[in-house]
Amino acid sequence: MKFVMLLNHKKIKNAPGKFLLRCFKTGVAMEIIFYHPTFDTPYWIAELTKKLPGANVRAWQRGDNAPADYALVWHPPVEMLQGRNLKAVFALGAGVDSILSKLKAHPEMLPDAIPLYRLEDTGMGSQMQEYAVSQVLHWFRRFDDYQQLQREGRWQPLADYNHDEFTIGIMGAGVLGSKVAQSLLPWGFPVRSWSRSRKDWPQVTSFAGESELAEFLRDTRVLINLLPNTAETIGIIDQSLLAQLPDNSYVLNLARGVHVVEDDLLAALDSGKLKAAMLDVFSREPLPQESPLWRHPRVTMTPHVAAVTRPQEAISYIAQTISQLERGEQVDGQVDRVRGY
């Protein structure tokens, strides 16, 4: 238990994080538990402590049942959260799949009354923009075709693609989908989005709901997947969906591997319906060596690195959000557990 003294309330009133020193009449430091199986835990704890002076941030270990106000987690063990009277839980990434899947089997792990937050951007948006723009331009300038000609030892200029015939369709219109759409517009491509509800984004044609999916797909030359992982979206990119794209289309999956039926994707590539696919995520990770995706000549892949959590941006976001919650303010990023995002 820690006790602190207010020397000048007015001076620290609006300083970021320093309001925590007041400890709200109790004089007890705020307790934050942290768990991530791969992050540099000492670094995160040190930086969080700088951003939230007066808070006690500790690495959670098995058997730690001491009180806590907030939990910062990634793939948390059930016992870490179960039975705690937390003010909020923060997932240390944009996805909350692991937490929600555990909640199905262990609903007592996190009562509905405890809000769950995810990192909506924190540097991920710019990374997704870089990834998407670089790959779309790679296909648009036919660099994949020129690489094949190089392997064949052939010097052969190819006809250019036209911007107006290279429509980009983004499935998933959340924060990251919005960022990717914005980054593609300056290059002159027609951009459209498809999501659960209609969006009002400048220069982007919005489609919504199952009834408009076919229309969305009809002229989409490059399909970019940024959907959330929900019961409704698992396996959505299957043979039926791919068949509705124009011939020689492209698929760029930046969301979750479970969205794509990999056998159907391979069949579409082999038939010529798809010209190429760029995959950052897979149904099983690491991708098993026996997967034919490793060896397919028109599949390019990266090991789930399209957008990773950037510590400084994430730490600043978490510290700011905790500060806002403590002041009773409205904040963004709370997960709707029914929708799954």
**Residue 28: predicted pLDDT:** 62
**338 falls in which pLDDT band (50, 70, 90)?**
confident
- Asked whether this chain's domains 30-122+309-327 and 124-301 adopt the same fold, the reply is yes
Which distant-in-sequence residues (6+ apart) come within 8 Å of 7 by Cβ? none
Compute the average pLDDT of residues 144-152: 97
What percent of the chain clears pLDDT 90, i.e. is strictly above it? 86
Q: In degrees rounded to 5, what are phi and psi of residue 88?
A: -170, 160
Identify whether 311 is preceded by a cis peptide bond (ω within 30 of 0).
no
Report which of 76, 64, 120, 136 is spatially closest to residue 101, judged by C-alpha positions. Answer: 76
User: In CATH, which of 3.40.50.880, 3.10.110.10, 3.40.50.2300, 3.40.50.720 is domain 30-122+309-327?
Assistant: 3.40.50.720
Q: Taking residues 194-216, report their average pLDDT.
A: 97
pLDDT for res 41: 98
In 183-232, DSSP assigns E strands to 191-195, 204-208, 222-225
Q: Residue 200's pLDDT band (boundaries 50, 70, 90)?
A: very high
CA–CA gap between residue 79 and residue 225 (Å, rounded): 34
Does the pLDDT at position 183 exceed 90?
A: yes
Rounded CA-CA distance 300/139 in Å is: 12
How many residues are given for the chain? 341
How does the average pLDDT of the chain come out, rounded? 92
**pLDDT, tens digit, 9 for 90 and up, residues 310-332:** 999 999 999 999 999 999 999 98
Q: What mean pLDDT is predicted for residues 200-227? A: 98
pLDDT for 121 equals: 82
Judged by average pLDDT, the poorest of 2-11, 126-135, 150-159 is 2-11
Separation between Cα atoms, residue 144 and residue 285, nearest integer Å: 26
What pLDDT does 11 receive? Answer: 38
From the list 80, 117, 64, the residue with the least C-alpha distance to 95 is: 117
pLDDT tens across 46-85, in order? 999 999 998 999 999 999 999 999 999 999 999 999 999 9
Please check the confidence at residue 26 and state whether its pLDDT lies above 80: no
Taking a C-beta distance cutoff of 8 angstroms, is the pair 59, 83 a contact?
no
Residues 6+ apart with CB under 8 A from 5: none
208: three-class secondary structure by DSSP: strand
Going by pLDDT thresholds of 50, 70 and 90, the confidence category of residue 94 is confident
Residue pair 263/207 in contact (Cβ under 8 Å)? The answer is no
Please give the average per-residue pLDDT across 253-273, as a whole number. 98
Domain ranges of the chain: 30-122+309-327, 124-301
Whether the predicted pLDDT of 304 surpasses 70: yes
In which band, very low, low, confident or very high, does the pLDDT at 97 lie, cut at 50, 70 and 90? confident
Architecture of the domain defined by 124-301 = 3-Layer(aba) Sandwich (3.40)
Catalytic residues: 256, 304
Could you report how far apart the first and last alpha carbons of the chain are, in Å? 36
Predicted confidence at residue 15, as pLDDT, reads 44
Query: What angle do the packed helices 175-184 and 124-140 form, to 10 degrees?
Result: 40
Continuous segment of H or E residues that includes residue 57: strand 56-59
